Amino acid sequence: AAEEGFDAEEVEGAIEEAGHGPLPVLAVIGRPNVGKSTLVNRIIGRREAVVEDRPGVTRDRVTYEAEWSGRRFKLVDTGGWEQDVLGIDASVAAQAEYAIEAADAVVFVVDATVGATDTDEAVVRLLRKAGKPVVLCANKVDGPSGEADATALWALGLGEPHPVSALHGRGTGDMLDAVLEALPEAPAQTFGTAIGGPRRIALIGRPNVGKSSLLNKVANEDRVVVNELAGTTRDPVDELIELGGITWKFVDTAGIRKRVHLQQGADYYASLRTAAAVEKAEVAVILIDSSESISVQDQRIVTMAVEAGRAIVVAYNKWDTLDEERRYYLEREIETELAQVAWAPRVNVSATTGRHMEKLVPAIETALAGWETRVPTGRLNAFLGEIVAAHPHPVRGGKQPRILFGTQAGTKPPRFVFFASGFIEAGYRRFLERRLREEFGFEGTPIHVSVRVRE
Ligand code: GDP
Ligand code: GDP
């Protein structure tokens, strides 16, 4: 309907765009120095990634949103990986395992000027086993004379090598076209095949907050299946655990249990692991060590889960260790440092004593319910009408922009698109978001609000 100056097509287009579900995930993998980060920079078209980083400087950002030919996807950059004490083969393999596991398709970058190395061959074996679509990027082909080097990479048995110069941009467009062909429209493993199956939980948090202790506590009480899903690793990756009479799938438990002691790159390794788990999960249970000050690293993990659009529960672990004083400061820290998830259900637990374990499931269910909430259009517009009448947008330049109508374009997490008669300021958007939460709940879920302005 031509509503208040928006034509039907425009409205439909906006709803479709705002309502996109979870994005498919593309992982960029390969040995150090083959040009992964350079390629990621080129694809996301920003100078935000990592090439400038010096060795030893850890990066926490591993996923980026990207777009090519009008299609959006998530990019997992493994370029920050550093060779660790296990040696180059083991570290590249471990990195590749996590990235492949989380991905819907993979770009495997090989330095064409060097040719395929033994390490590359090892990654090829992992890729074969995983069975995910692969696009082979023959990088550092800066000019026509390098094409022969690219051709030689047919020998890897991964199909056509795409000659690319990540540095200069040569060939990246053709390669990305191949990527889009390989990439499913939506992330299959999380939301396709999993529909109707057990809900997927990622247990995340910085090292030593008690993830493996908590997992052991809940799993030992009532384990259903171990080794449920072999994935690409030798260890079980996902585990089915019965809690509160319901079977849940804890994703990436191998990552939690694995006791690999890494020196260089350990933080990055943890970030990649967290990103992989979050991508696969519907709900993230974020563990915080309440005996220690809430850190920047805790905040980054929270941001990762929020940006991924997952349902969120925050569990404050090691509650058995708290004294009065620490408890006082913890509450202050939560208010100031974790304000971005003030809407998340909270549980105060102890993996050691088992305190409040029974509160975990209700919190998870609350968060998932918020995540799946759909507000009927009629109710939403009645609410918008009241808000706009009672709290109009401030007048700017003699005009008063107004929210005309809105609709919920999608769920998991809830996504809204509002149609307005003029530019809506950030402060007013935040106000609307706050009121949406007050009215409709959305406990435990991020929400997205986009605004379309009438031309
Ligand atoms: P990563 O470790 O795989 O992420 O590799 P980087 O992206 O950090 O690149 C390693 C080095 O290779 C850097 O010095 C880059 O400038 C260089 N490099 C990356 N892509 C290309 C390319 O297409 N051509 C050339 N000549 N050099 C490149
Ligand atoms: P992860 O690195 O997050 O998997 O953490 P771990 O499960 O390995 O735990 C790190 C340390 O914290 C271990 O020494 C645990 O025994 C200890 N820990 C874990 N949970 C609790 C808890 O609830 N209370 C206390 N006091 N210690 C805990």
* Element of type H or E holding 418: strand 415-420
For 244-310, list the strands marked E by DSSP.
Answer: 246-250, 283-289
Evaluate: CB of 38 within 6 angstroms of ligand 1.
Answer: yes
Closest atom of ligand 1 relative to the 40 alpha carbon = 7
Q: Per the structure block, which two tokens stand in for 412?
A: 């998991």
37 Cβ inside 6 Å of ligand 1: yes
Cα separation, 145 vs 287, whole angstroms: 53
- 158 vs 116: CA distance, rounded Å: 12
Number of neighbouring beta carbons within 10 Å of residue 22: 18
The dihedral of CA 375, 368, 415, 9: what is its sign?
negative
The residue whose C-alpha atom lies closest to atom 18 belonging to ligand 1 is: 35
Q: Which residues of 158-185 are buried (b: 16+ CB within 10 A; e: fewer)?
A: beebbbbbbeeebbbeebbebbbebbee
- Separation between Cα atoms, residue 372 and residue 414, nearest integer Å: 7
Is residue 32 lining ligand 1, measured as CB closer than 6 Å? yes
* Ranges assigned E (strand) in 113-259: 134-139, 161-163, 199-204, 223-229, 238-243, 246-250
Q: Which residues partner with 453 through β-bridges? A: 420
Ligand 2 atom nearest residue 206's Cα: 3
CB 41 less than 6 A from any atom of ligand 1: no
Q: How far is the CA of 291 from the centre of ligand 1 (A)?
A: 43
Binding site, residues? 30-37, 77-81, 139-142, 205-212, 252-256, 317-320
Q: Are 429 and 406 in contact (CB under 8 A)?
A: no
Q: Helices 36-44 and 172-182 sit at what angle, rounded to 10 degrees?
A: 80
207 CA: nearest ligand 2 atom: 2
Tell me which ligand sits closest to the C-alpha of residue 322.
2
Ligand 2 pocket: which residues have CB below 6 Å? Answer: 205, 207-213, 256, 317-318, 320-321, 350-352
38 CA closest ligand 1 atom index: 7
Q: Rounded CA gap, 413 and 343, in Å? A: 13
**Binding site as annotated, residues for GTP:** 30-37, 77-81, 139-142, 205-212, 252-256, 317-320
Q: How far is the CA of 344 from the centre of ligand 2 (A)?
A: 23
Can you tell me the distance from the alpha carbon of 157 to that of 287, in angstroms, rounded to the nearest whole number? Answer: 42
pLDDT of residue 205: 93
Nearest Cα neighbor of 78 from 57, 94, 54, 56 is 94
Residue 236's CB is within 10 A of a number of other CB atoms, namely: 19
- Residue 29 burial (10 A CB sphere; 0-12, 13-18, 19+): buried
Give the up-direction half-sphere exposure of residue 147: CA atoms within 13 A in the CB hemisphere. Answer: 5
Token pair 């088992």: residue: 354
The pTM assigned to this predicted structure is 0.75
Strand intervals (E) in 69-140: 71-77, 105-111, 134-139
Report CA 44 to chain centroid distance, whole Å.
16
| Bridge partners, 288 (sequence order) | 316
Q: Please report the pLDDT score of residue 99 as a whole number.
A: 80
Residue closest by Cα to atom 12 of ligand 2 = 210
88 lines ligand 1 (CB under 6 A): no
Task: For ligand 1, say whether the CB of 36 is within 6 Å of any of its atoms.
Answer: yes
What secondary structure does DSSP assign to 308-355, as a single string? TT-EEEEEEE-GGG--HHHHHHHHHHHHHHSGGGTTS-EEE--TTT-T
Token couple for 413: 């997490």
In order along the chain (455 residues), what is the average pLDDT of each group of 10 residues? 70 77 86 89 66 40 80 79 58 75 91 93 89 95 94 95 96 95 73 63 91 84 40 56 87 64 57 83 96 93 92 98 96 96 97 93 96 94 94 90 92 93 90 94 94 83
Give the position, in ligand 2's atom list, of the atom nearest the Cα of 216. Answer: 7
Nearest alpha carbon, ligand 1 atom 26:
140
Q: Ligand 1, residue 81: give the atom nearest the CA.
A: 2
Q: Alpha-carbon distance 248 to 242, whole Å?
A: 6
- Both structure tokens of 381: 């517009």
